[in-house]
Amino acid sequence: MGGTMGEPAGGATAGIGDIQAGRLDAATLAANFADAHPPLTPAQAVVEANRCYFCHDAPCVEACPTGIDIPGFIRKISTGNLRGSAQTILEANIFGGSCARVCPTEELCEHACVHTAQESKPIQIGALQRHSVDWLMQRGITLFTRAAPTGRRVAVVGAGPAGLACAHALARHGHDVTVFEARPKPGGLNEYGIAAYKVPDEFAQREAAFILSIGGIGIEYGKVLGRDIALDSLRRDFDAVFLGMGQAGVRALGLAGESMHGVRDAIDFIAELRQAPKGHVAVGRRVVVIGGGNTAIDAATQARLLGAEDVTIVYRRGPEHMAATDKEQAWAQTHDVRIRHWAAPVRLIPGVGARGESVAGVEFARTVLDAAGGLALTGEQFVLRADMVLKAIGQSLAADAAAIPAVRGGRIVVDADRRTSLPDVYAGGDCVAGADLTVVAVQDGKLAAAAIHRQLTGGL
Amino acid sequence: MADLRTSFAGIASPNPFWLASAPPTDKAYNVARAFKAGWGGVVWKTLGEDPSIVNTASRYGAVSYNGVRIAGFSNIELITDRPLQVNLDEIKAIKRDWPDRAVVVSLMVPCTEASWQSILARVEATGCDGVELNFGCPHGMSERDMGAAVGQVPAYVEMVTRWCKQHTRMPVIVKLTPNVTDILAPAAAAQRGGADGVSLINTVTSITGVDLDLMAPEPVVDGKGTHGGYCGPAVKPIALRMVAEIARALPGLPLSGIGGVSTWRDAAEFIAMGAQNVQVCTAAMHHGFKIVEDMIDGLSNWMDGKGYRSVAAVSGRAVANFVHWNDLNLNYRIIAKIDQSLCIKCGLCHIGCEDTSHQAIAALRVDGQRRYEVIEAACVGCNLCYLACPVDGCITMVRQEGPGGVLTWEHHPNNPLRKEAAE
């Protein structure tokens, strides 16, 4: 393939800075951002549930980071015991509703499903899980109650999946939990960091309300660790602390002009799409997304759905290296997003548009693996015109290293119980090492809560 | 191409697939559609005396299993609810229009000779090929001393059969109820009475389910239910056994196999167990008459593959191998063998054996991977794992070297009443 695709090598061109809201009418936007995977009908759910073999030592359970008894909850769907089915799910994973929507099931439970081995057609475990949890939540049924108050107090930093999973489990044990959340709403990335069509209809808020309905959990919003609250004072004022503040920092490209109009963090773009009416969110006519994870996929696909005409994801390695699953990549491609591999950005090209200096394109260098397996730039370059560049090359722990427990590789170090280097401080979710998945964060919160409970009650 | 023409009780039909006496054969309209679809014969839904009976609304119940609808089916419908002459006129027209198909008429009238004599004369006038005596319906009519109330008393079966043979030249088929302890008793009674053949099974007395909101057995009629007659795929094993038992004990008595026949394979099994033909109802009620296409060419293709030229060549072929338990070889030994390359790791072989049987399949982890292995010394060759395994061919039962020869219970050392082998 040629180096430039016939496009100008930078400089101001017509249409530069073409970023605007309301490219599509309200009805089109509503259709574009509707539920990406509509729920199973009751009849579909029963047919699907009846396909399950009810395996012994089921591989799907082992593949689930929260260890949900998947054959157990599916059998209960087949018998019409939906309350029992939801209970089986939620006992293991209080975020069963959002995990059913956002888990990369094709790499976890459904990959392990024996039907995948037998016929390459796994049980739709995620869709069935959603069926049961939705059934319960739509009826306003609360399954969990608090044990008698223990008088012990635990601070949780972050109201995302890790923090709320931890808080919920502690509340069940009767402990009092105070959650400190930087944002104005609970839910973490479920509320701010995931494409709107994956969790439509305010699902993240409904789920958080469902979790908090157990009682015993207070949330203080607008509280950032290191700014409004300090770990030292939390340790002093509470019997234990759980850190689940995720990765609030955003990695920069390290190129000149990153603050230029039109260059934006993908995660902010995604958050805005979740908080503002879709018709109010501005998007470029030509959008380049840099990165290879689900954030890149969600930003690129949503840019297309907002009306961008041309959206390209550029990733510095090959498709097999992308953090986004094959299914996610295909999802973006189905929405007419182009994915270009083996190229790294080397220059942001400025242009002059209606609002002054504005990005006009990105120059990329083709990449290869060197003899040592590292990534190397080649001399071959190409330019993609863009009036909007979304950066999705990863997040980082925002906190001041001096103010938190020991960190390694940009993540807080924890043991199997999710205990940090400080004996009364635990951590989980994206701020610790491990796959950055909702379901992993929930398991972290669950394990930490169990350990905190043992610690607070003198158990082993 | 195999010859599917059959003759049962002296009645010829182009193929062995008849529709049983039931709702599908209640009217000329349905029967004409069936013949058009290819069915070889029908047994017209049971005629009775005027005034006609009255049927309920809510007549059928069913058992669905794991999402499969109508695995078992039940009805509380009685005999035809149309005037006798209407049926007779239609039967006559149908036989005239479809002379190559078998048209047999099912009958049920009170247990008096005059009643049978009277209706037989009118039925014979239609030109139909034979009659089938409904001694089987277990619900409703039996409360009026007909149907199963007759079929459950061998003396009545013999008596009525004899009356019918005296009062008609048509072949007389006796349809047997399975709701008896010993199916041979009514079968033998029919034979003594001169029956030209027996057909079985009629439906099994049943309650298909209970409506847990209404707290009433299904099908529910205005808050109440009554027992029905059970049929469909779920009853096939019961029917096969009864057919086979008659075939073994009363050789030469023509048999029409009924009970859950849904496919050509089911039909082949009944025929192998001694039937000359089969009768179908539930499968047609579930899927319509078109199913007969696959029945016909499926059976024909299977017969061609096996080199069977006619249905008669298949009929009864498995009867000799249907023996009493005491005749089974206790020296026969098989054990399970798992083809690891086909195993999908569902663990069903292990858990069934571990929880409920012989602890003969080990659940291992080899390099973290699940592996299920037969513990040969513990395996008794029961077939459970082979039956539970969802992958065809993954588990096979493999014959083992044993003591050799045949050792039956009669001669087994553990049998206190054993017969010493003759020297």
Q: Which CATH class is domain B326-411?
A: alpha beta
What mean pLDDT value characterizes chain A?
93
| CB B182 within 8 Å of CB B153 | no
Q: Contact B347/A56, CB-based, under 8 Å?
A: yes
For chain B, positions 357-386, list CB contacts with chain A under 8 A. Answer: 363, 370
Q: What would the mean pLDDT of A362-369 be, rounded to a whole number? A: 97
| CB B256 within 8 Å of CB B197 | yes
The label of the residue with tokens 């096969």 reads B240
Maximal C-alpha separation, chain A: 71
The answer to whether B137 is a known catalytic residue is yes
Phi-psi region of B262 (alpha: psi -120 to 50; beta: other; left: phi over 0): alpha
Phi-psi region of A373 (alpha: psi -120 to 50; beta: other; left: phi over 0): left
pLDDT tens per residue across span A36-83: 999 999 999 999 999 999 999 999 999 999 999 999 999 999 999 999
Q: Contact B344/A50, CB-based, under 8 Å?
A: no
Residue ranges of alpha helices (H) inside A57-142 are 59-63, 70-78, 82-92, 96-102, 109-112, 114-119, 125-138
pLDDT tens per residue across span A279-296: 999 999 999 999 999 999
The label of the residue with tokens 């010394």 reads B377
The pTM assigned to this predicted structure is 0.89
- DSSP characters over B98-123: -TTSEEEEEE---SSHHHHHHHHHHH
> Which entry of B111, B128, B137, B389 is annotated as an active-site residue?
B137
Q: Contact B348/A59, CB-based, under 8 Å?
A: no
pLDDT at B379 over 60: yes
pLDDT grade for A460, boundaries at 50, 70 and 90: very low
DSSP reduced 3-state for B47: strand
- Terminal-residue alpha carbon distance, chain A: 62
The domain A153-248+397-456 having CATH identifier 3.30.70.270: the answer here is no
Rounded (10°) angle between helices B84-97 and B28-37: 20
- DSSP characters over B287-333: H-TTHHHHHHHHHHHHHHHHT--BHHHHTTTTGGG---GGGS-TT--
pLDDT at B3 over 60: yes
Residues of A in contact with B364 (CB under 8 A): none
Residue extents of the structural domains in chain A:
19-32+250-394, 42-138, 153-248+397-456
Q: What is the pLDDT of residue A16?
A: 56
What is the helix (H) or strand (E) element at residue B350, kind and residue range?
Answer: helix B348-356
What mean pLDDT value characterizes chain B?
96
pLDDT grade for A355, boundaries at 50, 70 and 90: low
Domains A42-138 and A153-248+397-456 share a fold: no
How do A395-396 and A249-250 pair as beta strands?
A: antiparallel
Distant-in-sequence, close-in-space partners of B20: CB < 8 Å, separation ≥ 6:
B43, B199, B258, B279, B280, B281
| CB A413 within 8 Å of CB A421 | yes
Residue extents of the structural domains in chain B:
6-321, 326-411
For chain A, positions 106-165, list CB contacts with chain B under 8 A. Answer: 114-115, 117-118
- DSSP characters over A322-357: -SS-HHHHHHHHHTTEEEE-SEEEEEEEEEEETTEE
Gap from A70 CA to chain B (nearest CA, Å): 13
What was the ipTM of the complex prediction?
0.85
Q: Contact A114/B344, CB-based, under 8 Å?
A: yes
DSSP single-letter state for residue B10: T
Q: What would the mean pLDDT of A318-341 be, rounded to a whole number? A: 96
Superfamily of domain A42-138: Alpha-helical ferredoxin (1.10.1060.10)
Q: What is the pLDDT of residue B139?
A: 86
DSSP reduced 3-state for A269: helix
Gap from A50 CA to chain B (nearest CA, Å): 5
Give the mutation candidate from B346, B364, B384, B392 for the A interface (greatest A CB count, under 10 A). Answer: B346
pLDDT at A10 over 50: no
pLDDT grade for A17, boundaries at 50, 70 and 90: confident
Q: Token pair of B91, please?
A: 């039967």
CB-based contact (8 Å) between B34 and chain A? no
CB-based contact (8 Å) between B348 and chain A? yes
Nearest to B67 among A46, A114, A115 (CB): A46
Residues of A in contact with B345 (CB under 8 A): 55, 59, 114, 117
pLDDT tens per residue across span A76-99: 999 999 999 999 999 999 999 999
pLDDT grade for B66, boundaries at 50, 70 and 90: confident
Q: What is the pLDDT of residue B146?
A: 87
Across the A/B interface, how many CB contacts are shorter than 8 Å?
38
pLDDT grade for A9, boundaries at 50, 70 and 90: very low
pLDDT-above-90 percentage for chain A: 91
Q: What is the pLDDT of residue B422?
A: 56
pLDDT-above-70 percentage for chain B: 99
Q: What would the mean pLDDT of B144-148 be, rounded to a whole number? A: 86
Give the mutation candidate from B69, B212, B341, B345 for the A interface (greatest A CB count, under 10 A). Answer: B345
Total count of residues recorded for chain A: 460
Torsion, CA A343, CA A347, CA A353, CA A358, rounded to 10: 100
DSSP reduced 3-state for A242: strand
pLDDT grade for A203, boundaries at 50, 70 and 90: very high
Residue ranges of alpha helices (H) inside B367-423 are 384-388
Q: Contact A117/B370, CB-based, under 8 Å?
A: no
| CB A285 within 8 Å of CB A208 | no
Nearest to A55 among B66, B346, B391 (CB): B346
Fold of B6-321: TIM Barrel (3.20.20)
pLDDT at A401 over 80: no
At the second CATH level, the architecture of A19-32+250-394 is: 3-Layer(bba) Sandwich (3.50)
Nearest to A53 among B348, B350, B370 (CB): B348
pLDDT tens per residue across span B101-134: 999 999 999 999 999 999 999 999 999 999 999 9
CA B59 to each of CA A337, B23, B103, B319: distance values in angstroms, whole numbers, following the listed order: 58, 11, 26, 37
pLDDT at A7 over 80: no
Q: What is the pLDDT of residue B374?
A: 98
